Amino acid sequence: MAEAALGIYVMAGYATPLIALVPLLMVWFGLGFAVKMVIIFLLAFFPICINTWVGVKAVPKTLVEVGTAFCAPQSRIMRQIVLPATLPYIMAGLRLAIGKAVIAMIIAEFLTAISGLGGIIINAANSFRTAEMFVPIICVMILAVVLDRLVAWLERKVAPWQSEIAGEHA
């Protein structure tokens, strides 16, 4: 039911090039912190949403039928069957969203060019100081790797069975 109601909007939002919306978002939210957060949210939301959607659709119907056969309420089926089966998809969406969020942060700072790592890169580029551009670029790379490791740690905590299934060792 949710897919029928919201699916077209999610896919339309995902397909919309964010760079085309940035000027509009800057008019609505200004040049400060709020516009950066909106841009980051918009770019990171869709990978999580779509992966969760795919994960829910991938839950084996037999598991839900077993829960129903044992007279489990819908909330318990969602909490104890659907959510654990969907967690690997959600975590994959989070990992994809981290990359998108870092890209969005840099795009937002490039276009507002007021502060932040993107602002430093733009100011150094405008002054032809290429050596100074590498420090924020490396900082962004380190940030992305640290955030990815954080999500991997979170995945091991909330879905410990997943690493066993994948044959990974912590």
Kindly state whether residue 67 falls inside one of the protein's structural domains.
no
- Could you report the per-residue pLDDT of 19-33, keeping only the tens digit for each? 888 888 889 998 888
Q: What is the pTM of this model?
A: 0.76
Residue corresponding to tokens 């954080």: 150
Helix 130-158 to helix 116-126 angle (10° resolution) is 160
Give a yes or no: residue 113 inside a domain.
Answer: yes
Domain range enclosing 21: 2-60+90-166
Give the chain's domain count: 1
What single DSSP character describes residue 17? -
pLDDT digits (tens, 9 = 90+) for 71-97: 888 888 888 888 888 988 999 999 999
- 75 is a domain residue: no
Q: What is the largest CA-CA distance in the chain?
A: 69
Instruction: Kindly state whether residue 16 falls inside one of the protein's structural domains.
Output: yes
Question: Helices 130-158 and 83-112 sit at what angle, rounded to 10 degrees?
Answer: 160
Evaluate whether residue 141 is within a structural domain.
Answer: yes
In a domain, 128, yes or no: yes
Lowest mean pLDDT among 24-38, 88-102, 108-122, 129-143: 108-122
